[in-house]
Amino acid sequence: LNSVLFENAVVVTMDGAGTLFDPGWLLVEENTIVGLGPMETLPSDPAARDRMADRRVDARGGILMPGFVNVHTHISMAPFRGLGEDRPDRLRRFLFPLEKRFVDKSLVYDGARFGLIEMAKSGTTCFADMYYFEAEVARAADEAGLRAILGETIVDFSAPDAAEPYGGLEYARRFVSDWMGHPRVSPSFAPHAPYTVDAEHLKIAAAEAEKRGLILQMHVAEAADESARFTASHGSTVKYLDSIGVLSPRLLAAHVVYADDADIALLAARDVAVAHCPQSNAKAGRPIAPAKRMADAGVRVGLATDGPLSGNGMDMQTIVSWYPKLQKVRELKRDTVTAKEAAYAATIGGARALGLGELTGSIEVGKRADLALFDTDSFGVQPIHDVYSTIVYSLKASDARSVLVDGAFVVDERTMVGIDESEAMARLMETAARVGAAAADL
Ligand SMILES: [Zn+2]
């Protein structure tokens, strides 16, 4: 039996009752959390503790919490990070030509390995991703040991891995059948957006997802021209999607920055999940999504980095603080989103948005051991008066010490386990140099 006993941790469970143990312990057996409690309930005899587990970890007062859940990203875009910032026509001028020229299996695989290291080493245990050659992301996620929901992007133009418009649909069907049943890496369908996929193909993708019980990932109401177009035709992008039957509990809608109260009510009524990407939206000069209003209306809202081109950093520590800060600015109220609410949104909230709330996202006996242990002994973190405030506003990505997914260490004492970090860095730098040289001519 593979087992780990964490001791002397501030155990932050993110369960329904807000249970905290400070100091506390937690026991993992195989892939499951089997016990936890305050330190005084552990046997004081070290030999007795040795008998409880194969391995004991002294958390030294660090925070042990459910790993972050990043519900929307495109990790393979790592080589493009920082290119063409602040250009008004960035997507068309830089990204599309570069993707057309450079995106192939090896770029996607290398970019995914790089992104997985960045995510895991900052405490993320589970993520949702959509891009091209998504089978390469799946392969990398499998090696890294993270939990993932992955979708091949479907668009109405020729893509790096599909010559014909909507060629992604055929790729997606193959990808889904190849990865169905994997214990950690779940396939999904990922039409790009309502403005790049027509109603007929949206319905097909939604029906395929429904038939197989899978998530449907899509960018929704993210752009001003998209919103103007569907507001003119149907009242709003959300109303348009409802009119073609795409709003459902399977839909994971990324961004949703253009949504009024009627849209929010509709999203709640159809039990749609929303991936809120505050940093990426702010960088692009888009409106602040009504994320807290959606959450209050009952919409399942998770937090996300978006891709390395749009959001840059792939660590959720940054995002978990952007969420309350921007919502406070939006509503002009200090307590719009409390630190505790933000911490929950970044963990169990994300798990629920991905339909994984029964499996992961909180520390509860019987749930999978998807955990992040953060050191708290740095100058930027101390003192800790309120652990949720510390998690949301003080912890840095670099404070992540160890990360487990499904009971296995994916980061062990700050070192990635499943992927060689220096090799992944070298390969990424090589691709980034080629992409950067080409971008200089654009
Ligand atoms: Zn996106």
Q: What is the DSSP string of 304-350?
A: ----TTTT----HHHHHHHHHHHHHHHHT-TTSS-HHHHHHIIIIIH
Instruction: Give Rg (Cα) of the chain.
Output: 21
Helix (H, G, I), strand (E, B) or coil at 398: helix
What is the average pLDDT score of the chain? 96
Classify strands 32-38 and 55-58 as parallel, antiparallel or unpaired: unpaired
Q: How far is CA 419 from CA 108, 122, 145, in A?
A: 15, 15, 9
> How much distance in Å is there from the Cα of 283 to the middle of ligand 1?
13
φ, ψ dihedrals at 353, nearest 5°: -60, -30
Q: What is the pLDDT of residue 310?
A: 87
Question: pLDDT tier at 84 (50, 70, 90 boundaries)?
Answer: confident
Mean local confidence (pLDDT), 216-233: 97
Using the mean position of ligand 1's atoms as its centre, give its distance from the Cα of residue 308 in Å.
Answer: 10
Degrees, nearest 5: CA angle 428-433-434: 105
Query: What pLDDT does residue 162 have?
Result: 87
How many other CB atoms sit within 10 Å of the CB of residue 62? 23
For residue 307, the CA-to-ligand 1 centroid distance in Å is 6
DSSP strand pairing (273-276 vs 251-255): parallel
Q: How far is it, in rounded angstroms, from Cα 135 to Cα 151? A: 9
Measure 304 CA to ligand 1 centroid, in angstroms.
9
Residue 368 has φ and ψ, to the nearest 5°, of -65, 145
CA of 312 to the centre of ligand 1 (A): 12
pLDDT at position 1 over 70: no
136-159 CB burial, b ≥16 within 10 A, e <16: bbbbbbbebbbbbbbbbbbbbeeb
* Phi, psi torsion values for 37, nearest 5 degrees: 170, 180
In this structure, the number of other CB atoms found within 10 A of the CB of residue 374 comes to: 29
Distance 216 CA to ligand 1 centre (A): 13
- Residue 190 CA, ligand 1 centroid: distance in Å: 11
What spacing in Å lies between the alpha carbon of 134 and ligand 1's midpoint? Answer: 14
Give the model's pLDDT for residue 435.
92
pLDDT tens-digit map of 389-432: 999 999 999 999 999 999 999 999 999 999 999 999 999 999 99
Q: What's the rounded Cα separation, in Å, for the pair 178 and 186?
A: 10
Report CA(193)–ligand 1 centroid distance (Å). Answer: 9
Q: How far is the CA of 226 from the centre of ligand 1 (A)?
A: 15
Cα–Cα distance measured from residue 279 to residue 397, given in angstroms and rounded to the nearest whole number: 16
Cα of 264 to ligand 1 centre, how many Å?
A: 20
Closest CA to 169 of 140, 204, 221, 195: 204
Q: What is the mean pLDDT of the segment spanning 185-204? A: 98
Tokens read off for 295 = 């959450």
Distance 116 CA to ligand 1 centre (A): 17
Question: Residue 93's pLDDT is what?
Answer: 80
More confident residue, 69 or 87: 69
Q: Are strands 400-405 and 371-374 parallel, antiparallel or unpaired?
A: antiparallel
The C-alpha atoms of residue 328 and residue 98 are separated, in whole angstroms, by 37
**In the beta sheet, which residues pair with residue 57?**
6
**Cα–Cα distance, 411 to 418 (Å, whole number):** 8
pLDDT reported for residue 237:
98
Q: Which residues have a Cβ under 8 Å from the Cβ of 235 and sit 6 or more positions away? A: 262
Determine the distance separating the centroid of ligand 1 and the alpha carbon of 115, expressed in angstroms: 15
Per residue in 214-233, is it b (16+ CB within 10 Å) or e — as a string? bbbbbbbbbbeebbeebbee
* Phi/psi at 121 (5° precision): -75, -5
Q: State both tokens at 191.
A: 């039409």
**Average pLDDT of 233-256?**
98
CA–centroid distance, 162 to ligand 1, in Å, is: 19
> What pLDDT score does 86 carry?
84
- Cβ atoms 434, 102 nearer than 8 A: yes
pLDDT tens, position by position, 319-339: 999 999 999 999 999 999 999
Give residue 234's pLDDT. 98
